[in-house]
Amino acid sequence: MSQDRNRGIATLTDVAREAGVSLATASRALNGSSRRVREEMRQRVLTAAGKLAYAPNAPAQAMARGSTNVLGLLVHDIADPYFSSIATGVMRAAEKQNLVVTIFNTWRRPDREAEYARTLRGQRARALIVAGSRVDDLVAQEQLEHELVEFESAGGRAVFISQGRLRFDTVVLENRSGARLLAEKLTELGHRRFLVLAGPSKLRTSTDRVQGFREGLARHSIQLSRDQVLRGEFTRDGGFEAMTRALDLGLAPDCVFAVTDVMAVGAMAACRQRGVRVPEDLAVAGFDDIATLRDVTPSLTTVQMPLDDVGAMAFELVAAERADRPRLRRVKGQVILRDSTARPT
């Protein structure tokens, strides 16, 4: 119990004294450095540590070693199942390497990302995963990239989970091709008049999905005009509100594509409220295949993204050494047709 401020925390010095060895030996015994310690000494140290309930002072180790075992994860909102799925994947992988995961909620504010990246640099975090759609905000994006460059030059590793980036390793979610496939399947089912419920125009995830959907329709010679795309928040309420608006406008599509499952659920709720039957009166499709939403009725047609794996893949990238040029891991979505888009009668 070396100092007062520790209020009774045992330090390595205490352990060494208790074991009757030097500080250096204690350190080497407990952390198996490159140097070996005679088994007998090792045991002495280990028992002493156990007896004193010694827990290494992580900040001190970080100081001395110049690096930590902290992994930062930046998400828009951890309560969103999309992100919590990714987080689980990351944590599952991180825990195997004894990394500790610190999560930051940006609440969808791009400037926060840069701020937190800087905080993590200060923490000397070993790695940093930025999850969530990029935003068409050049200033914020520039600032973020700048922080990430600093972060990496400080010895950390940074990767994105989002759209293709140029300067960093990225797990790319192929939103466009997924949406394209979905559009094709839906037209093959016989749907013709579409309506898209999109997210904020700045979010690339949203714009990519809309664009992909448009391309898919185009392959079947179906045009998607501007007024067939309604915008709303990227949330359940956003979907609800946008769908309500559509109904109020008297739009009469036979199929609605909401760019996320969460919005799709909101849209279905709006339909229910207005007495519009899904899928009889209107087909609805989503995107992501959120696990918690697999049991809504009618079951939701969607594009499955393996979010759990995505988290794990991001971790793999982050655990690997930085390559000379950014690595990309492309993740494709898979269309899953369910009841919400039954063939129109």
Partner DNA sequence: GCTGACACGGAAAGCGCTTACCAAGGAGGT
Partner DNA sequence: ACCTCCTTGGTAAGCGCTTTCCGTGTCAGC
Q: Which residues bind its own copies (CB under 8 A)?
A: 5-9, 53, 55-60, 62-63, 66, 68, 70, 77-79, 81, 84-85, 87-88, 91-92, 95, 100-105, 118-119, 121-124, 150, 153-155, 236, 262, 265-266, 268-269, 272, 290-293, 295-297
Contact 247, 214 (CB under 8 A): no
Strand partners, 283: 255
Query: Of 8, 17, 18, 28, which lies in the binding site for DNA, with binding defined by CB under 7 A?
Result: 28
Q: What is the DSSP string of 240-273?
A: HHHHHHHHHTT---SEEEESSHHHHHHHHHHHHH
**Which of 103/203 has CB closer to its own copies?**
103
Please check whether residue 2 is in contact with residue 13, taking contact to mean a CB–CB distance below 8 angstroms: yes
What residues contact 31, with CB distance under 8 A and at least 6 apart? 56
Phi–psi pair at 226, nearest 5 degrees: -60, -40
Cβ–Cβ under 8 Å, residues 264 and 289:
no
With CB under 5 to 8 Å by kind, the binding choice for 8 among DNA, its own copies, none is its own copies
Instruction: List b or e across 184-204, with b for residues whose CB sees 16 or more CB atoms inside 10 angstroms.
Output: bbbbebebeebbbbbbbeebb
Q: Which residue spans within the chain are E strands per DSSP?
A: 70-75, 100-105, 127-131, 157-162, 169-173, 194-198, 229-231, 255-258, 283-285, 302-304, 328-331, 334-336
Q: In angstroms, what is the minimal distance from the CB of 263 to its own copies?
A: 11
Q: Which residue lies nearer to its own copies by CB, 116 or 257?
A: 116
- Minimal distance in Å, beta carbon 27 to its own copies? 14
DSSP codes of every residue in 122-188: HTT-SEEEEES--BS-HHHHHHHHHHHHHHHHTT-EEEEEES--SSSEEEEE-HHHHHHHHHHHHHH
Q: Using CB distances below 5 to 8 A depending on partner kind, what does residue 262 bind out of DNA, its own copies, none?
A: its own copies
The nearer residue to its own copies, 100 or 222, going by C-beta atoms, is: 100
Residue showing tokens 């949330």: 235
- 41 contact, one of its own copies, DNA, none, CB 5-8 Å limit per kind: DNA
Interaction partner, residue 27 (its own copies, DNA, none; CB < 5-8 Å by kind): DNA
Question: What track of x and - describes contact with DNA for positions 61 through 100 (by CB under 7 A)?
Answer: x-xxxx----------------------------------
Rule CB under 7 A: is residue 125 a binding residue for DNA? no
Residue 24's binding partner among DNA, its own copies, none (Cβ under 5 to 8 angstroms by kind) is DNA
Nearer to its own copies, 183 or 314 (CB): 314
Task: Please name every residue paired with 172 in a beta bridge, in sequence order, or none if there are none.
Answer: 162, 330
According to the binding rule CB under 7 A, does residue 31 interact with DNA? yes
The listed partner (its own copies, DNA, none) that binds 50, CB under 5 to 8 Å by sort, is: none
State yes or no: residue 6 binds DNA (CB under 7 A): yes
Interface residues with DNA (CB under 7 A) are 2-3, 5-6, 9, 11-13, 21-25, 27-28, 30-31, 33, 35-38, 41, 54, 56-57, 60-61, 63-66
